Structure 1
Amino acid sequence: MQGDLQSDVMDPARAAALQVALGLEPTVSAGSALPPFFHQLYFWSPRAPSDLGRDGHPRVGIDLIPDMGLPRRMWAGGRLHFHTPLRVGAEAKRHSVLEKQSRKTGRTGPLGFVTLKHEIWQVGALCVTEWQDLVYREDPVLDEVKPTPPVARRDETERREVRFDSTLLFRYSALTFNGHRIHYDLDYARDVEGYGGLVVHGPLLAQLLMLFAEEVIGPLTRFSFRATAPLLHFETATLCRNGKDLWVRGPDGRQCMQAEAQSE
């Protein structure tokens, strides 16, 4: 199966910058294990302005992602297998393929589904396998009633409150080279895509859940997550855990993300 192959050095400065942005101590140094999901900071794919779509992402149809005629992109979820730790300061290679694509009709109209599979190798060893699930949708009808989001569980055994603001969203976008305008352009997020504010990155929520899970249950071997409702930049969220289940609860009780973590 053909795909895309990229190389990058796991720069310790970039990983330490994310730790600082998240309010953590910058403990990463050359030779240490890269925290789970921090590989999102690497393997950038810069594109010329002429190759970008209106949303700031690379235009569909020029890389692995096909053009299905649907303008709105959402990172709907993903699965990760952590085989062996990536090491900071060393080169790694990522091989990416389009694993599947489909088109369906949902409550809000046509939907395009894309799954990308990534394998990340370092020093001849497979370190991470990741499946990234993307959804593409039509533009919203701005005065249309939005679907009711699911209600989050309240049976957590551990919880942690996290706060967001536009600065954190901007810094995360910069560190991951994510140009999606819903995360930093309030007018675009509100007037074009119909959100009530800047949207907290799904991968940022997943990142916080992974760090939370690792702190509680130890090094992760598998993690899966699914976004279920957007969280906005001015909202406080609660990270929740009960056994292997994790979720993000919004301030009004809605479920923004659900996840499952496995350790050694």
Structure 2
Amino acid sequence: MADAASDYRAWIGQRRTHEDVIAPFPPKALIATFDTGDPDPRIGDPLPPVWHWLYFLDTAPWSKLGRDGMPTRGDFLPPIPLPRLMWAGTQFTFHDAPLRIGDQVTREQEVSSIEPKTGSTGQMVFVTQRLRIHGPAGLAITEERSSVFREDAKPGEKQKAPRQAPTDASWSKTIAPDPVLLFRFSALTFNPHRIHYDQPYVTSVEGYPGLLVHGPLMSLLQIELARRSTPGRKVASYSCRALAPVYANAAFSVHARAEADGSVTTWIADPNGGMAQQGKVTFA
């Protein structure tokens, strides 16, 4: 991994820029997917925090997708040979220039760090990207997004049980993640990763016991619970870290706890009460 680390360092600083329009249909479709009953978005309405994930979608052609359905590496990201990809977490700062429906927007994307590591399941490489999103009013969002590339599962490998999640939430919600929910979120984010919809692939090739719930989907559910439980407050920052996978067809729960300093701690508890994700929301 030492030689690989040296090779990967050459990719740090790789940049690209995308433009998009905050069209009303994607948030309308996410409202339907989350079943919140909100009115249809209209031109000029503010875009809720983190809903920019519905834009700047990767449109790699079919011929450039790998075995897992994801774009092959070696263009923007380095050609890391480890086959399994997982979302690891993210951090956001929301600046005083909110995005609105109808805005023309630009995203600057940069590879900011690449860290090879060795864990209990073998070799891993963590890749972090820095993203800056600008709207008509200036810099709107800064994001640090992390992914991890891992070895194939070894025969008989079992997932380590996560630690137990807290039980002192101020607000909670239960989600029943059926394949339809996973399909809708994959479609909305143009996510071709087969671990979310291809049962034979995810069990026989990647070695998981079932379809995985998207990490970003669970992250969105946490900030949605936090902001809807504290109406009238402006989100200043949000961070979220993945700790353990969650699988389709078994209900998990979303939790948020009001803290003395005014922030809100969020987390996802798997069906057995294990901590699957943890996050933090601060307000301006």
Q: Say whether the fold is shared (TM-score over 0.5).
A: yes
TM-score (norm 2): 0.89
* Cα distance in 2 for residues equivalent to 1:202 and 1:226: 9
In structure 2, runs of 5+ residues without a counterpart are 1-12, 259-263
Total equivalences in the alignment: 263
Which residue of 1 is the match for residue 269 of structure 2?
249
Alignment RMSD, CA only? 1.2
Q: Which amino acid aligns with 1:219?
A: K
Which residue of 1 is the match for residue 245 of structure 2?
230
> Is residue 13 of structure 1 aligned with residue 25 of structure 2?
yes
CA deviation after TM superposition for structure 1 residue 102, in Å: 1.2
Which residue of 1 is the match for residue 283 of structure 2?
263
* Cα distance in 2 for residues equivalent to 1:159 and 1:42: 28
> Is residue 239 of structure 1 aligned with residue 250 of structure 2?
no
Q: Which amino acid aligns with 1:236?
A: A
Q: Which amino acid aligns with 1:200?
A: V
Which residue of 1 is the match for residue 204 of structure 2?
191
* Cα distance in 1 for residues equivalent to 2:155 and 2:62: 28
Kept in 1, the 8 Å contact 2:88–2:148? The answer is yes
Kept in 2, the 8 Å contact 1:150–1:228? The answer is no
Q: Please give the per-residue CA displacement for 1:146-195, whole angstroms capped at 9, x wherever unaligned.
A: 22222211122221112211011111101101110001111111111111
Give the one of 175, 180, 183 matched to 2:188.
175
List, as ranges, runs of 4+ consecutive aligned residues in structure 1 with deviation greater than 3 Å: none
TM-score (norm 1): 0.96
Matches within 5 A, 1:53-72: 53-63=66-76, 65-72=77-84
Kept in 2, the 8 Å contact 1:17–1:26? The answer is no
Q: Which amino acid aligns with 2:274?
A: R
Distance 1:150 1:67, change over 3 A: farther
Q: Percent of pairs identical after alignment? A: 37
Question: Aligned to 1:187, what secondary structure does the other structure show?
Answer: helix
Which residue of 1 is the match for residue 228 of structure 2?
215
> Is residue 103 of structure 1 aligned with residue 119 of structure 2?
no
Question: Aligned to 2:211, what secondary structure does the other structure show?
Answer: coil
* Cα distance in 2 for residues equivalent to 1:49 and 1:249: 35
CA deviation after TM superposition for structure 1 residue 45, in Å: 2.2
CA deviation after TM superposition for structure 1 residue 26, in Å: 4.3
> Is residue 50 of structure 1 aligned with residue 63 of structure 2?
yes
Which residue of 1 is the match for residue 36 of structure 2?
24
Kept in 2, the 8 Å contact 1:228–1:257? The answer is yes
Which residue of 1 is the match for residue 9 of structure 2?
none
Question: Aligned to 2:26, what secondary structure does the other structure show?
Answer: helix
Give the one of 127, 142, 151 matched to 1:114.
127
Which residue of 2 is the match for residue 86 of structure 1?
99
Give the one of 151, 154, 166 matched to 1:141.
154
